[in-house]
Structure 1
């Protein structure tokens, strides 16, 4: 006896979103795609931190000045500022799959150039490619995660933060291992080369398993392609409804880069302010403090490379705990309140380090950076990207992520550039005090804006009559800001 499976008819975006939201988990091909998107974020963190543990050896190896260190460490972030919106625009115009795979190719080129660079200039060129890959990938991967995640599991997007710290920790373990292999001051070359191998593996896997986002396809009016993608991902038979039964896609954002203007009007303005604040502030505080933990460890544990790297690894373990815990915290408290609380604690820690750094007992000098990383990763470090991707409808999601991510990239570049210069001019304690201003202001804004994307009345992709911003009454269709 032959069993005939009935086909599932798709009328438009709402049917796709409803099906995804009704899933009991993220399994099968959907799970593979989900984790491959997170794998791209692992690569971004691994590539970004590849120079962190080896910064001291690289400085000696190439006899770098303070200004050259600032350029090498920050150039990828400056480039990502440009490529965040470019990647978002590409993903909203041509889809998620091709740009996300292209980012891996750029990462491979950047890693090869830097690993075998004979001069300072070639390293900078390699980091330009890494920055382009990082900027493109982050905007697209987070958007894809938002579209592949059932509403009830939306807090799981925050797992990217745990993945980030896992990548950073693996870099530190690699650095310690390479040090014990007596490779000398070339440690940083091996770390950068390892990032290239990760990029190559992801390139192959994403090329093989990635499928275009069905939600994006449907929002673009490509329902036949969306049905095919759903069939591949979920191993069920999906068919497009006849033309007369299909939902009409209204107010489609099809103005390319000019779609950025939409996120500054109507219901999207406070969401944009909130997401931008969290991304910008968390980037400054992380890349000014967290990225330089190996250097801070040297101040705490002395000039021994292994001890300093082990100390930095210890700090980052708190990031892994906080990053993976952020999903549970977000599920219970949302994204906004944990961000506000995290910023508040980080500000208090920076003030404490600034006032008492030289007189703190060692246990407390170790405890404070640990709590800093824990509260950062459990709150604002994870939530900025999630707030961004969950606050906008499908065909402008990657564009919004790209633009807001570019502002976050500015924060990262500021942190990476300013920290070594301020440390050299004012010393660590004063630098901590100045940096405390950033999370203080961010906490105030987070407490003031009430939008909470995990508790919105209507899932973003069900906004079939999404606002075209001709007036301010669009909250009647999409759920009021709460």
Structure 2
């Protein structure tokens, strides 16, 4: 019996085949979840110090300024490595930089585990920030390129993975606490990061396959056919050169490609994605990341009660994060972000006005709703918007630039919370921070672009900014041949 071989003439054929899939399964599903596994590691590494921040502060006798620097340093580093990671992925592909990021995460974790002073921990957090910056820009591009268009909103699943990682950290912190390790508990959380990083490194190195869309956009169609055969278990071959369809809007000027996202139809998309990314980063890392400390302020300083309170808050993040693909599909990523920001603004306003007067039950509900509205709305959408709004050879770079803006927001949030709390008190800190989601909500309601509410595919979009003189073409049906 003869098998059917599918002939690939260009990007359109790969997009047509991907979009015809009824699900994300087989090897494509493995790659999809491995990319999410890397994001789980990023969240785990970023939150590893959160639950143990109080014990670490006592253990190392840190000042408020040192705490602010320590907690925000990885995000400051990620500002540089977000665009570097995007540039690496757009130039050399998706797989090699993803694997490199895991190696950096392991180095950073080992340095922190065995650190005897503040300075060594800072060096370790440098590697963690580099890994985070590289990985997030690329992993989201991979998710976008392996997701059929009808399932675009599923990119938001990463948010549920984030809170799963945070809750796993908190549960492990309770386990380590039961071992009576005292104020060195933070070292055990970081050690768990190293274990996860090694496992994900091995799996990604063994099982990832290069993105066929990226290969085709780079006019490496023979390699794209090999990748498609490995991923989907069907036979693919590249069409003869004379039958191949020219690549539309090929950006050929290296780093200068990144300037394209600030031109033409891309500019409002960049503003929208950056607004969501920056706004959600500030509100999460200024409030959500510090939930163990906020929980201690609300429920008392006992480690177990404070950790259980933070765990309860973050369980709402798991629920909202895994619900966000459905919310995004029903309402669109833009409206989901706008409404989510508005709800977060209301929660911060309530915390700022009444957190010291609330009964215990209300003190538990309001931060939980903050996390629910954040994770179900803007928390996931900034990265999804940037991943779905640009063509393939710009996608990782755009994620890197917009991710760097988000890292600035994260670094600011991590930096200002301990300082504002010391200067103005907890209530006034909540009120000051409430301005962020309010402004972000207004911008989201004002810009109308939504990749889940359009039939435009950025990889064959006519009229997008370009450096080449390619002429538009009309995509055709995938051809088959009998070997």
TM (normalized to structure 1)? 0.96
Structure 1 partner of 2:203: 205
The equivalent of 2:283 in structure 1 is: 285
Which moved further from structure 2: 243-252 or 300-309?
Answer: 243-252
Displacement of 1:465 in angstroms is 7.0
Query: Partner of 1:315 in structure 2?
Result: 313
Q: Which residue of structure 2 lines up, in the alignment, with residue 350 of structure 1?
A: 348
**CA contact 1:262–1:268 (8 Å) conserved in 2:** yes
Q: Distance in 2 between the 1:9 and 1:280 partners? A: 43
Instruction: Select the residue among 74, 89, 92 that pairs with 1:94.
Output: 92
Q: Say how many residue pairs are matched.
A: 474
SS in 2 for 1:187: helix
**Alpha-carbon distance, 1:255 to partner:** 1.7
Counterparts of 1:193 and 1:332, CA distance in 2: 40
* Contact 1:278-1:384 at 8 Å conserved across structures: yes
Structure 2 residue corresponding to 1:107, chosen from 105, 108, 114 = 105
Structure 1 contact 282–381 (Cα < 8 Å) conserved:
yes
Following TM superposition, by how much is the alpha carbon of 1:296 offset from its aligned partner in structure 2, in angstroms? 0.2
Q: Deviations over 1:261-308 (max 9, x none)?
A: 100111000000000000000000000000000000001110100000
Q: Is the 8 A contact 2:265 2:464 kept in 1?
A: no
Shift of 1:475: 12
What CA deviation, in whole Å up to 9, does each residue of 1:317-373 have, x standing for no partner?
Answer: 000000000001111111000100000011111111111111111111111100000
Aligned-partner Cα distance in 2 for 1:116–1:470: 52
The CA deviation at 1:251 is 2.9
1:34-93 C-alpha deviation (Å, 9 max, x unpaired): 000000000000000000000011111111111111111010000000000000000000
* 8 Å CA contact retained: 2:93, 2:210: yes
* Distance of 2:365 and 2:190 partners within structure 1: 30
List per-residue Cα deviations over 1:124-167 (Å, max 9, x = no partner).
Answer: 00000000000000000000100000001111110000000000
What CA distance in whole angstroms lies between the structure 2 residues aligned with 1:173 and 1:220? Answer: 45
CA deviations 1:372-425 (Å, max 9, x no partner) are: 000000000011110010000000000000000000000000000000000000
1:420 counterpart = 2:418: yes
CA contact (8 A) 1:77 1:413 kept: yes
Q: Is 1:226 aligned with 2:224?
A: yes
Equivalent position to 2:161, from 157, 160, 163: 163
2:478 is aligned to none
Aligned residue number for residue 117 of structure 1 = 115
Structure 1: distance between partners of 2:354 and 2:70: 31
- Partners of 2:352 and 2:428 within 8 A in 1: yes
- Match for residue 177 of structure 1? 175
Quote how far apart the aligned CAs of 1:463 are: 2.9
Distance change >3 Å, CA 80–CA 369, structure 1 → 2? same
Query: 1:253 Cα deviation (Å)?
Result: 1.0
- Decide which of 298, 302, 325 is 1:327's aligned counterpart: 325
Shifted more, 461-470 versus 5-14: the winner is: 461-470
Q: Secondary structure at the match of 2:456?
A: coil
Match of 1:29 in 2: 27
Structure 2: any 5+ residue segments left out of the alignment? 476-483
1:442 positional shift: 0.3
Q: 1:148 to 1:470 in 2, by over 3 A?
A: closer
1:102-134 deviations in whole A, cap 9, x for unaligned?
000000000000011111111000000000000
Task: Measure how far apart 1:467 and its partner are.
Answer: 3.3
Q: CA RMSD in A?
A: 1.6
Within the candidate set 198, 208, 212, 1:214 is matched to 212
Q: Does the 8 Å CA contact 2:251/2:468 hold for their aligned counterparts?
A: no
Mean Cα deviation higher: 23-32 or 452-461: 452-461
Q: Retained in 2: the 8 A contact 1:249–1:465? A: no
Question: What secondary structure is seen at the aligned counterpart in 2 of 1:407?
Answer: helix
> Judging changes above 3 Å, is the alpha-carbon distance between structure 1 residues 475 and 385 closer, same or farther for their aligned structure 2 residues?
farther
Q: Flag the structure with more relative contact order, 1 or 2, with Cα contacts below 8 A and sequence separation at least 6.
A: 2
Q: Which residue of 2 aligns with 1:67?
A: 65
CA distance in 2, matches of 1:371, 1:467: 41
How far apart are the structure 2 equivalents of 1:460 and 1:316?
Answer: 35
Q: Is the 8 A contact 2:250 2:467 kept in 1?
A: no
Shift >6 Å, 4+ stretches = 474-478
Of 381, 384, 390, the match for 2:382: 384
Q: Mind listing any 5+ residue stretches in structure 1 that lack a counterpart?
A: none
Distance in 1 between residues matched to 2:252 and 2:295, nearest whole Å: 49
1:371 aligned residue: 369
Partner of 2:480: none
The answer as to whether partners of 1:465 and 1:477 remain within 8 angstroms in 2 is no
1:466/1:477 contact within 8 Å kept: no
State TM-score, norm by structure 2. Answer: 0.96
Q: Distance in 2 between matches of 1:115 and 1:470?
A: 50
> Do residues 447 (structure 1) and 448 (structure 2) align?
no
